[in-house]
Amino acid sequence: GAVVSQHPSWVICKSGTSVKIECRSLDFQATTMFWYRQFPKQSLMLMATSNEGSKATYEQGVEKDKFLINHASLTLSTLTVTSAHPEDSSFYICSATPIGPGSRADTQYFGPGTRLTVL
Partner 1 sequence: RKEVEQDPGPFNVPEGATVAFNCTYSNSASQSFFWYRQDCRKEPKLLMSVYSSGNEDGRFTAQLNRASQYISLLIRDSKLSDSATYLCVVSLNNDMRFGAGTRLTVKP
Site residues, partner 1 (CB under 8 A): 32, 34, 36, 41-46, 49, 91, 93, 97, 105-108, 110-113, 115
Nearer to partner 1, 78 or 95 (CB): 95
- Closer of 65 and 106 to partner 1 (Cβ): 106
Nearer to partner 1, 82 or 99 (CB): 99
CB of 42 to partner 1, least distance (A): 6
Classify residue 67 by burial, with Cβ atoms within 10 Å: 0-12, 13-18, 19+: buried
Which residues lie below 8 Å from residue 93, measured CB to CB, with a gap of 6+? 6, 35, 36, 37, 38, 44, 110, 111, 113, 114
